[in-house]
A and B are shown apart, each in its own frame.
Chain A
């Protein structure tokens, strides 16, 4: 499915009012992991909202990326309790395993490593999201194993 077809399908489902902007943006990110220029222009046209406004709205939300991302987006919680429970070590382990720094995407486009503000697992930190899945009570080793599992399952 092309991005245009995806957007049109989402607009069909959610409608063309301004209120449907969020679910349409979310739907594209769900599939594509980010909003390309073409995706945003198609959405602007479908909902008759200026492209700048579509971008302005998307760029407000941490999860609505507007730069290319890998097939799997890792978000390690960096807020206080995860900090106290060792998120730095988790990030270090992931950086080493993926050979990228936070903010970067692997050459094979399979992983993007990011940090996030409080993910709501303060009693079971450190925690990370891979796409929508949550992985609490991480150790550096566990984190790397989880990523390896994704690596194996990513075609």
Chain B
């Protein structure tokens, strides 16, 4: 395994730039990047690679009149009375990356959290056709989460508070990527404020202990 940095490794940034991530993953990566200028630069670099690849393709033949059609589309746009609707300013919250704030439209404390287990709450934001789920997880300071394995890929972005897994310490803006190879995963939440995380899971996680299994229906992860 690579050293713990809490930063998503480059291969994911390349996949983001290439358009090879899922909608949920792309959302979490965009949120993650908001915390790190250097990561935004790396993503911009990967997108520049896309631009260079675009320049390098063998040009395709356009149909006759393609440019005229484009001008017609432009004229149609400009004839529209006023396509610019006054929109309400997007919701923002200093504790949230902008894409998440736009999605939620309200603060963490105004959300309808569901019970997940002692000291833990969850809120499922979205389920996707491919089986992925986008979650918010909230755990009280000091909570020890049950041991669990991952059956699929899981991205967890810390928004508030923090937690430890083994020697690795995750704080706001840090991302943990866990896969099926990460067995016996037991996050321990830092003392103090609630730890809120944005997570994408692509398969239910598997809880270890008997007690953990009893929690499974609650956790629903």
Question: Do A and B form a real pair?
Answer: no
